[in-house]
Structure 1
């Protein structure tokens, strides 16, 4: 990377891209440690990443929240430094992920987002749960927990998930067997949060749950049997 556009000779990053890569490298090499947190390069990197998380373009915001979410998992001193940055950045709603990032990126985005208690995050989590890839697992579990445990009632959360799933299926046009597999994963992720939720079921819980399950209606074969099994567990 050109020193004029990236990192200066003294190691201080000059832009978001360089700051992000610096933090990723420090995390991967286990060098983001307490006695380095007050160094000028790291303070500058965190400032630049925080600015991108708060008001960067859509992909930069997602990247920034994800890398901060990963940093927050390292140790309590790092979490104490990073979590206020996350809370400030998450005052403004994030864009939905769409096709952004790999599974690891999405997981740490979910972890980073979970730090905040902003009201918009509840519906955001429900949509991410509904529209995640079939192969997603770790991020799906976090989104399910947020969508249920922070909701006003479970029926309302299920309505949001069902609408988001229906919209995603209509826009993406994936086949019925894919819809059934996605529903299997969603219902599997919802089982534990619903059983442990300290929020009311809400009016129309049964109707809301049925509407979600019926998004996979008409499917036969192994996927439909798994869907019935998942339904029986909730």
Structure 2
């Protein structure tokens, strides 16, 4: 990864992008355009506020008021949709038209449009790099999910073996206290019991670590029965 960082830095910081500077007229146009957008939004808010103050709400019943509120919310949503759509169309026209002329205009393109062409090419390169990295990320996440499921399967097998070992240890422990008198065998049983306790602690630690990895990976573990069982499983089940 560290070896790839300079390459991406070169894509994001080129002599062409650093050399592009807005003229005073272009900067002024952009500032006025932003001010116009803000004024349109403020005007819409003032109009909605003024319309809401025309009615005397004290004489309206709760049912009628609730119906009017629902209607007002629906109308506000419709107006907001129209406002955003109108601005999006205007924005796309302002952005798309110079880009098309810069790409396809050739010698007939204006100077301001030809200035965009190097930046457009760099944007396309960065877009391709982004798509490639996104595909690699998706593949890596898929491989991670597969590895975690395989790890869960191995842990489940270990869990079954541990439960069998615990059952055998408990059986042998009962025999050691009631039937076994050989000191050497009793010592072996005590050592086995110590190993069982250590295995139980290791299992709990490993289970907590894997569950934390699943939660922190960003995978939708709640929709997967195996992952959900791991994360939500009772840690005291092996006691």
Q: TM-score, normalised by structure 2?
A: 0.23
If you compute each CA radius of gyration, which structure gives the higher value, 1 or 2?
Answer: 2
Question: TM-score scaled to structure 1, two decimals?
Answer: 0.24
